[in-house]
């Protein structure tokens, strides 16, 4: 009996001792709020400083990102370094930079700068499911997770984790608890209407903030005893703040999010913490203010977290927290990351009209190649830059000791026909306004090489119709063939034809046919060999009769363009050279050989916000007609500034200049993202009718000063003053037509 009594007492003492040292399980609920989410980092820093372990973490939207970084075992310092190294604004813009585009795409985008969210397929006119497809956001999140392999459960992370998304069909919360961590974060962060929903597990998933912006209930189901909930959600406006229709619509959106958050707050007990940082003045897209949000998070969480540390602390808290950190590190070490890896195999899931061979050739991944995650993302960007894909995604897995890249390519589902537009304005505030609008339509992927049928229609100062068929004919897309037809009608002022008349008004009508074979040695470099034929009509106003002519002959051209911007480049180079051996047949005159030669160049250089651009052009025509059928012209902003547009014309032109521009400001908002420049130029050149007349002494000096806004939608908006040796002009430009 005494032995039994001792055994019972021993068991009771052991139970009491175990109960005494068992600490409560801590869960961290992080809400969504865009840039305001950096307040979560401030809370994480405090938890680390107060040595409070986190056993479970769940997040929504931006909270899903910070929660995932913590769940991977990153320290507060690592999360801070990673977060502030990311250019978050780029995650909401899918368009690749100009430098990454092919030469053909550069020229098309420079001219037709307005991409329309419209497409045509067999079901009629379509629009995409989101303003942004999430390609760049996916890159950001893959980079942040170092290409972590998919997990059977997010309980396998260093800290068990859940993300909350919205099932858009049922409008109910969907808890992401397994799979690819980067995809789970993106599903939780995909703001409806802005970012395309993520298709996962047979569902269409968007930002979880709509239904559960602060997942307290999720942590309770995971087993948390004490919950630390961080609420950065927007608050309802007062009646005095409802001053516009936008305010009213925003109020409805906030109400939906806020009502869900209030339901989660109601689940908290007296043992839990609710931390509500003051994020006043920090908007969802104010990513430049993330450091301020971190400090606001620290301010709000300092006192309650210190109180919690006292409440759950023990004499051995330091040792216990060290043991906790060691366990987190051990679990972190078991995660299969791919910051750097050898490519063993590629498995392609191709849902596009391009052949597998074209895609793999463009990707340029070689078996046995050692790649960093940054190098792989660069190759993915080069593939995406073809412009035909809605998304290009990948994941890496280890199978039988081999690194396998699973690549998914999804063609744009609102195509294969796409629209774009152009708008251009040139105003000199005295006697002439040049304005043009154009609509473009491209039917893509007409064969396995990505053949295109391009059509353009323009009205305004220039009337123009254009159609072109273009097709590569090799898997590496280096060789291509095109055929095009173009009708162009415009009015021009021809200066210098008579000493008695300042200028003559002339109408030029041209129909041009081209066929060309191209060699694209690099995506930004092209050699072209072709045949051109132009049938034209020149009508001089005030004079009887007109002149009809034919120009025809072979041509050779070379184009090289790596500029990061057409109007205000800071990197790259551009060189265009073209030689055409025209034969000129003018009605009533004998046929003559009239070779034409043109070249242009731009070379930017500079430092910090100070930029220079050395530019120039040269052209000549062998036309022997009194009005050159292929006239060379100068005049206008940066083309002997001070003269009017095309004021100088003749058979030969030469120009060189140096432009300086300084970035004065950068507008950064969801509506407008554009640098503001101020600068000036110095130019020298002229136009001559005889080659023997070309000389430095007869060239003219000109200069300009300007202010410009380089928008991503309309192109540059420039207000400039130009002055030369004889004239001065004020200019307003919208678009790239200068």
Question: So which residues are the catalytic ones?
Answer: 61, 207
Q: Show the CA angle centred on residue 361, arms to residues 346 and 357, nearest 5°.
A: 75
Q: Which two tokens stand for residue 618?
A: 């040269």
**DSSP H or E run through 372:** strand 370-372
Spell out the long-range contacts of 666-673 with Cβ–Cβ below 8 A and sequence spacing 24 or more: 667/709, 668/89, 668/288, 669/285, 670/92, 670/285, 672/711, 673/89, 673/93, 673/712
How many H helices and E strands in the chain? Answer: 13, 35
Six-digit token pair at 370?
A: 């050692």
DSSP string, 413-448: TT-SEEEEEEEEEEE-SSS-EEEEEEEEEEE--SST
Asked if residue 598 has a cis previous peptide bond (ω within 30° of 0), the answer is no
Distances (CA, A) of 592 to 546, 655, 691: 19, 28, 18
Of 678, 645, 291, 340, the closest CA to residue 494 belongs to 645
* Rounded-to-integer distance, Cα 706 and Cα 75, Å: 49
CB proximity list for 642: less than 8 A, separation 6 or greater: 702, 703, 704, 722, 723, 724, 726, 727, 728, 729
DSSP three-state, residue 271: coil
On whether the CB atoms of residues 642 and 674 are closer than 8 A, the answer is: no
**DSSP, residue by residue, 306-344:** HHHHHHH--TTHHHHHHHHHHHHHHHHHTS---SEEE--
Do 438 and 466 form a contact (C-beta atoms < 8 A)? no
Q: How big is the CA angle at 150 (ends 53 and 140), to the nearest 5 degrees?
A: 80
Across the chain, which distance is largest between two alpha carbons, in Å?
Answer: 134
The span from the CA of 144 to the CA of 697, in Å, is 61
Q: What share of the chain is helix, strand, coil (3-state, %, to 5)?
A: 25, 40, 35
- Chain centroid to CA 436: 26
Backbone angles phi, psi at 76, to 5 degrees: -60, -40
Q: Can you point out the beta strands (E) in 523-545?
A: 525-540
Asked if residue 135 lies in contact with residue 384, where contact means CB atoms within 8 angstroms, the answer is: yes
Pick from 306, 274, 309, 298: which is nearest to 53 by CA?
Answer: 309
DSSP single-letter state for residue 253: H
Q: How far apart are CA 139 and CA 362, in angstroms?
A: 18
Tell which residue, 97, 131, 105, 106, has the closest CA to residue 117. 131
- Please give the full DSSP string across 545-575, using - where no structure is assigned: -EEEEEEEEEEEEEEEE--S-SSS-SS--EE
- Report the distance separating Cα 642 and Cα 680, nearest Å: 13
Q: 284-312 in b/e burial notation, b at 16+ Cβ within 10 A? A: bbbbebbebbbebbbebbbeebeebbeeb
Q: 207 and 191 in contact (C-beta within 8 Å)? A: yes
124 in the Ramachandran plot: left (φ > 0), alpha (ψ -120 to 50) or beta? left
Task: Identify the H or E element spanning 679.
Answer: strand 673-688
């Amino acid at each position: 009996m005494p032995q039994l009594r001792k055994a019972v007492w021993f068991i009771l003492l052991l139970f009491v001792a175990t109960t005494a040292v068992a600490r409560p399980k801590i869960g961290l609920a992080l809400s969504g709020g865009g840039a305001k989410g950096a307040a979560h980092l401030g809370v994480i820093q405090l938890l680390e400083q107060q040595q409070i372990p986190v056993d479970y973490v769940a997040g929504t939207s931006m909270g899903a990102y910070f929660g995932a970084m913590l769940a991977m075992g990153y320290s507060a310092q690592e999360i801070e370094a990673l977060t502030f190294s990311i250019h978050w604004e780029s995650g909401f813009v899918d368009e690749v930079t100009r430098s990454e585009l092919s030469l053909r795409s550069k020229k098309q985008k420079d001219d037709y700068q307005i991409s329309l969210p419209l497409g045509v397929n067999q079901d009629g006119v379509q629009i995409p499911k989101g303003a942004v497809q999430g390609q760049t956001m996916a890159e950001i999140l893959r980079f942040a997770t170092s290409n972590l392999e998919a997990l059977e459960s997010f309980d396998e992370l260093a800290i068990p984790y859940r993300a909350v998304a919205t099932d858009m069909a049922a409008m109910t919360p969907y808890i992401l608890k397994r799979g690819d961590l980067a995809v789970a974060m993106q599903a939780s962060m995909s703001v409806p209407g802005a970012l395309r929903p993520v298709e996962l597990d047979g569902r269409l998933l968007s930002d979880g903030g709509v239904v559960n912006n602060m997942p307290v209930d999720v942590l309770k189901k995971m087993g948390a005893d004490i919950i630390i909930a961080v609420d950065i959600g927007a608050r309802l406006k007062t009646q005095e703040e409802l001053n516009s229709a936008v305010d009213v619509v925003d109020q409805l959106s906030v109400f939906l999010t806020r009502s869900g958050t209030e339901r989660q707050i109601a689940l908290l007990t007296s043992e839990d913490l609710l931390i509500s940082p003051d994020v006043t003045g920090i908007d969802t897209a104010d990513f430049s203010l993330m450091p301020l949000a971190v400090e606001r998070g620290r301010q709000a969480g300092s006192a309650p977290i210190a109180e919690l540390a006292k409440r759950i602390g023990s004499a051995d808290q330091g040792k216990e927290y060290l043991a906790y950190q060691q366990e987190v590190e051990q679990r972190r070490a078991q995660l299969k990351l791919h910051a750097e890896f050898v490519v063993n195999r590629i498995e392609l899931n191709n849902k596009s009209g391009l052949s597998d061979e074209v895609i793999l050739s463009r990707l340029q991944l070689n078996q046995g190649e050692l790649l960093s995650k940054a190098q792989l993302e660069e190759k993915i960007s080069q593939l995406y830059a073809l412009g035909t894909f809605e998304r290009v995604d990948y994941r890496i897995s280890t199978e039988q000791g081999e690194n396998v890249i699973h690549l998914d390519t999804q063609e744009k589902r609102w195509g294969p026909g796409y629209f774009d537009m152009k708008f251009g304005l040139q105003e000199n505030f005295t006697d002439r306004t040049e304005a043009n609008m154009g609509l473009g339509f491209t039917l893509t992927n007409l064969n396995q090489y990505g053949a295109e049928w391009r059509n353009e229609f323009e009205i305004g100062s220039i009337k123009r119709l254009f159609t072109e068929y273009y097709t590569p004919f090799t898997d590496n897309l280096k060789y291509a063939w095109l055929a095009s037809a173009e009708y162009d009608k415009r009015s021009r002022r021809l200066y210098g034809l008579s000493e008695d008349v300042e200028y003559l008004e002339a109408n030029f009508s041209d129909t041009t046919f081209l066929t060309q074979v191209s060699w694209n040695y690099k995506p930004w470099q092209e050699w072209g060999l072709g045949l051109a034929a132009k049938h034209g009509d020149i009508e001089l106003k005030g004079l009887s009769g007109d002149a009809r002519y034919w120009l025809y002959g072979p041509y050779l051209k070379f184009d090289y363009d790596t500029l990061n911007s057409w109007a205000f480049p800071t990197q790259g180079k551009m060189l265009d050279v073209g030689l055409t051996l025209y034969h000129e047949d003018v009605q009533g005159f004998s046929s003559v050989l009239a070779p034409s030669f043109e070249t242009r160049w731009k070379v930017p250089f500079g430092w910090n916000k100070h930029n220079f651009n050395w530019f120039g052009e040269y052209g000549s025509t062998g036309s022997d007609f009194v009005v050159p059928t292929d006239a060379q012209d100068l005049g206008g902003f940066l083309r002997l500034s001070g003269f009017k547009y095309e004021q100088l014309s003749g058979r030969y032109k030469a120009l060189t200049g140096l432009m300086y521009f300084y970035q004065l400001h950068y507008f950064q908002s969801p509506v407008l993202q554009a640098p503001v420049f101020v600068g000036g130029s110095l130019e020298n050149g002229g136009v001559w009718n005889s080659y023997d007349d070309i000389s430095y002494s007869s060239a003219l000096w000109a200069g300009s000063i300007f202010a410009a806004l380089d928008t991503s939608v309309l192109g540059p908006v420039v207000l400039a003053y130009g002055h030369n040796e004889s004239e001065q002009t004020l200019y307003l430009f919208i678009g790239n037509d200068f």
